[in-house]
Structure 1
Amino acid sequence: MKFSLSPALVKNSLASHSWIGLLVGFLMYLICVSGSLVVFSGYMKRWEQPAVPEFHTLAPEAAARAYGDLLAEKPDISGDILLMLPRENLPRASVVSAGGVYFLNEDGSRGGSIATPWSNSMVGLHDALHIPGEWGLILVGVIGAMLCGLMVSGFLAHPRIFRDAFNFRQGGSRHLEQADIHNRLSVWGAPFHLMIAVTGAWFGIAMLMYTLFGNTFFDGDREAAIAAIHGTSPKLEQQVEVADVGRAISAMTELAPGARPIFINVEAANSPQQYILLGAHHPEALIYVEQYRFDQAGNFIGKVGYSDGEPGKQVIFSLFRLHFGHFGGLLVMVLYVIFGIALAAVSVTGINIWLVKRRKRDFINNIWVGLVWGTPAAVALSALAAVTLHSGAPGYFWLPLLAAALLGQWLDNETRTKAWLQWATAALSGMLVLIHVALFREHALSGASLVINLALLLLAILFFALGARTAASGREVQSDLQPVRLT
């Protein structure tokens, strides 16, 4: 008996496949663009609140005062109480607890409330595509795993890819031009792209991996697998006293003289089981922090062992800094942005190649160009909403992006859509700088704020020039298509 599918089913299946491919490529593009921004998340937070006092160290007695003031104000507070200490890219101190989130002055006194909605929104876009719960993290992790597969299959499918690493065929067919950009950027950034894909996949599917480790090595006990990697909470029974966070910080000069404390978390605060967890950065290691644990009196209990424990622990706790480029200083961060944008271009050109191969033009082309060039405009508009309205609601990003896609369909002209959105990005970036300076005055013209505002001005100039070039290329095409009048 011959099995066959109806032509209608085949047609619908192909359409579904096309939409799924377009969706995955676009989501990967969003993750890459937002990830390039998140590399500078510390600078972004400083730009959003430029008037906050900055300093490089918080003295132990200042940290003790901050914690004591919080308990004096809210003696019944419970849960975890986190003190973030000044660090390299974010030289500020803050307190995070059920009693509120606010900055600290250098003497440990309370400052203003923390409000960084745009930075948080971009981190949420990169980590989970603004999808609540664990589903967004899992989806991003799955896309990272798919990127690994795409890289491997891409290299296997193009045996001449290294031989043609410097071969650009611009000015000819659009298919060859897009293919060359796609393949060249893939080759040049391959080590970086693979590292980003692997580490990003881990963040998204970590809980699934813990389940696998538990089933494989711990007789099905996932919690035991997590404890083996992250350590277990100390079992303490104490008469509740104010946790001596100052003593814990002071003890680090003997425990790890070269390490720099960057946060203190009083876990299970105001309970007999409370203890102090101190995270310290080790400059000689790639790990994010080593975790040192103290009882409520500041007596050292032990450390987890990320800095000198089993290789697996060291690798897992190095993934964060490796993924976001938070090592090696500003130069490494700039390189991460360059390679991140290159990976975004690889995602876009991959879809462009598919669109050209279809040998037809329809609403997919219109929507795609709107989404690609609407993304920078939506990012700029979301930043504008955060500065003026103090809101980082996902709608300030997704609604402009939807409007850009609808604009592409309405104009029904890819060149015009591209030019209009490039000019919109230029206008929004320039407006963002003017409003930021008007709101924060001298604070907008110094430190991290000055760096970001100059970058925004450069982006405004770049996108204006791109828009002018795109519009000019469209006019040239129209001129070439004009009929020749014979006399």
Structure 2
Amino acid sequence: MAKTIWPKSSSARVDSALSAHSVMGLVISALLFVLCLSGTVAVFEDEIEWWEQANTPVVHSVDPAIVQSSADELLKRDPDTTHLYVYLPREDWPRYVVGGDNGSYAVSETGTFVAKLEAPWNEFLIELHYYLTMPHSFGIIIVAIFGVMLVSMAISGLLAHPRIFRDAFRFKRSGQARLAQVDLHNRLSVWTTPFLVAVAGTGAMIGLFGVAALVFAQTNYGGDTSKLSEAIFGGEVLEPDETPVPLTGVDTAMINLSRDVVDANPFLIVVHEPGQKSQHIQFYSDETDRLIYGETYTYSTDGELLATGHNSDGPAGQQIALSMYKLHFGDYGGLWIKAAYFGLGIMLCIIVATGLNIYFLKRREKGRSAPRLEAMWSGWIWGSTAMLPVTLTASLMGIGVAMLIAVYWLGSILLAAAACVWLTAAKAGRLYRGGAGLAMLAAPAIHLIRGELVWSNPYAVGVSVGLVVIGALFVFRAVGSFVELPRSVRASETEAA
């Protein structure tokens, strides 16, 4: 027999190594689950942001003269801003917002600044999904790596499933627990593969763009990333000139855009270098039949069309790069597409959760059960889920973004640890699912009691109704699953805990 270079290991050392391997797998899968969960909720980030300040006005249209006066007012409030952003109301998003580098404001159709936009929970959600609440330059790369892992897992899973079409609608809900979990995992994986590849792939591309740009710039543009950016998105149309001048021409540019581009449907205006001689006005026009973020038209303050972005008919790479955002977040096709993304996102969360469930059930069948790790996994899945509505409720009580981040991670870790020490996997699932439901019911109740829900705002009402419905389902499911358990099972679980 050939000799191995590895030293002989005791069974205790092997068991310790396997436990360490399992814990590392738990950590990776736990972060992946949080990414999928936060991304699923973030599909409705615009609606949630408005829900947090539901008393801001609904605006269906804005006159160019009002846009000009709003820009003037914003520059007075934020004189050091390098860019000025005007978000015009759209047919499916009737809101008027003006902002700069130091904050944004909800504005009425008459140009009155109603309130500074403050949506701490929505900001927390974005930090969680985009960066896993890490420093941005590092966090976005980590998130992108998870996107690459998801795509590779989807492809390898399909290749490992030779009867993919024959088993497409096979689904066992009874019998051996592992086979039921395998069927659930495989069926959802097959059905959601196009969505998974599109969402995870675009997420990876968005996250790794900075790294890829740095490498590509080194090999093709002498390390100058600005030249690469100009090659893809176009460069500045005017030479920088910081000579102070009044902010003018936004209204004229709006009027001329409607004349020059008949089908233009601007939803965003960006004023570059406002209050300087080199200031110019860029419009993003919605391309309703395309995935690109928008076509751009740049005007001078005299109303002259200076440049067109050619995002809709330019090089393929430019069109692909500008299609990543809408495809990743489902920001196209209106409410039905968002609802579809939400449903598919829930399926993706189930896929991640059942993946480790299958692993633990296999261990149990081989006589190597890990009940503490099973309980920890269940505690993390339902604990991290519950902490989202818990932090939402906390944000309504005035807690800021930094504290929400701390509460979320600390709460999720403590709930998983508590499940590992005191609960079984089943009991942790029931208790934390019920807690998540109660927190979902608490948030709209507090919102209503504080008088912040405006019944004429369908987007805010929709969020409240959604929270109530999903929260009630969670509570009903948690209570129902406990009642259905035989008394002997409840007693044995209590003893084991």
Question: What TM-score does the superposition give when structure 1 sets the normalisation length?
Answer: 0.92
**Residue number in structure 2 paired with 1:141:** 144
Amino acid at match of 1:7: S
Instruction: Decide which of 396, 416, 423 is 2:434's aligned counterpart.
Output: 423
**Residue number in structure 2 paired with 1:387:** 396
Say if 2:180 is the partner of 1:183. Answer: no
Alpha-carbon separation, structure 2, partners of 1:361 and 1:3: 30
CA contact (8 A) 2:144 2:204 kept: yes
Aligned ranges 1:119-198 → 2 under 5 Å: 119-198=122-201
Distance 1:155 1:442, change over 3 A: closer
Alpha-carbon separation, structure 1, partners of 2:442 and 2:476: 17
Amino acid at match of 2:472: I
Amino acid at match of 1:193: L
> Deviation of residue 62 (structure 1)?
0.7
Alpha-carbon separation, structure 2, partners of 1:70 and 1:98: 11
Alpha-carbon separation, structure 1, partners of 2:352 and 2:414: 22
Alpha-carbon separation, structure 1, partners of 2:62 and 2:302: 20
> Deviation of residue 362 (structure 1)?
3.7
CA contact (8 A) 1:42 1:89 kept: no
> Deviation of residue 147 (structure 1)?
0.7
Aligned ranges 1:255-334 → 2 under 5 Å: 255-334=260-339
CA contact (8 A) 1:77 1:270 kept: no
**1:258-293 Cα shifts (integer Å, max 9, x gaps):** 222112222223333332222221223221112222
**Residue number in structure 1 paired with 2:237:** 234
Deviates more, 1:467-476 or 1:171-180: 467-476
Alpha-carbon separation, structure 2, partners of 1:90 and 1:185: 32
CA contact (8 A) 1:418 1:470 kept: no
Amino acid at match of 1:261: P
CA contact (8 A) 2:87 2:269 kept: yes
CA contact (8 A) 1:83 1:95 kept: yes
**Residue number in structure 2 paired with 1:4:** 6
**Residue number in structure 1 paired with 2:39:** 35
Say if 2:384 is the partner of 1:375. Answer: yes
**Residue number in structure 2 paired with 1:485:** none
> Deviation of residue 223 (structure 1)?
2.8
> Deviation of residue 370 (structure 1)?
0.9
Say if 2:115 is the partner of 1:112. Answer: yes
> Deviation of residue 105 (structure 1)?
1.4
Unaligned runs of 5+ in 2: none
**Residue number in structure 2 paired with 1:365:** 374
Alpha-carbon separation, structure 2, partners of 1:165 and 1:99: 51
Deviates more, 1:19-28 or 1:81-90: 81-90
Deviates more, 1:348-357 or 1:278-287: 278-287
Deviates more, 1:369-378 or 1:393-402: 393-402
| Matched residue SS, 1:101 | strand
CA contact (8 A) 1:129 1:140 kept: yes
Amino acid at match of 1:321: K
Question: What TM-score does the superposition give when structure 2 sets the normalisation length?
Answer: 0.90
Distance 1:477 1:22, change over 3 A: farther
**1:317-361 Cα shifts (integer Å, max 9, x gaps):** 111111111111211111111111101100010011112222212
CA contact (8 A) 2:85 2:270 kept: yes
Alpha-carbon separation, structure 2, partners of 1:459 and 1:354: 29
CA contact (8 A) 1:35 1:340 kept: yes
Alpha-carbon separation, structure 2, partners of 1:127 and 1:401: 19
CA contact (8 A) 1:415 1:471 kept: no
> Deviation of residue 305 (structure 1)?
1.4
Amino acid at match of 1:309: G
CA contact (8 A) 2:379 2:429 kept: yes
> Deviation of residue 384 (structure 1)?
0.5
**Residue number in structure 2 paired with 1:56:** 60
Deviates more, 1:437-446 or 1:118-127: 437-446
Aligned ranges 1:216-235 → 2 under 5 Å: 217-218=220-221, 220-235=223-238
CA contact (8 A) 1:415 1:470 kept: no
Amino acid at match of 1:306: N
Instruction: Decide which of 201, 212, 219 is 2:204's aligned counterpart.
Output: 201
Amino acid at match of 2:466: A
> Deviation of residue 215 (structure 1)?
4.4
| Matched residue SS, 2:441 | helix
CA contact (8 A) 1:236 1:274 kept: no
| Matched residue SS, 1:131 | coil
**1:462-482 Cα shifts (integer Å, max 9, x gaps):** 111210233235436617979
Distance 1:251 1:6, change over 3 A: farther
Amino acid at match of 1:297: D
> Deviation of residue 415 (structure 1)?
1.8
**Residue number in structure 1 paired with 2:104:** 101
| Matched residue SS, 2:50 | helix
- After superposing on structure 2, the runs of 4+ consecutive aligned residues of structure 1 that deviate more than 6 Å are 479-482
Unaligned runs of 5+ in 1: 483-487
* Superposition RMSD in Å: 2.3
Say if 2:80 is the partner of 1:77. Answer: yes
% identity of equivalent residues: 28
Deviates more, 1:459-468 or 1:143-152: 459-468
CA contact (8 A) 1:416 1:474 kept: no
> Deviation of residue 436 (structure 1)?
1.1
Count of aligned residue pairs for this structure pair: 481
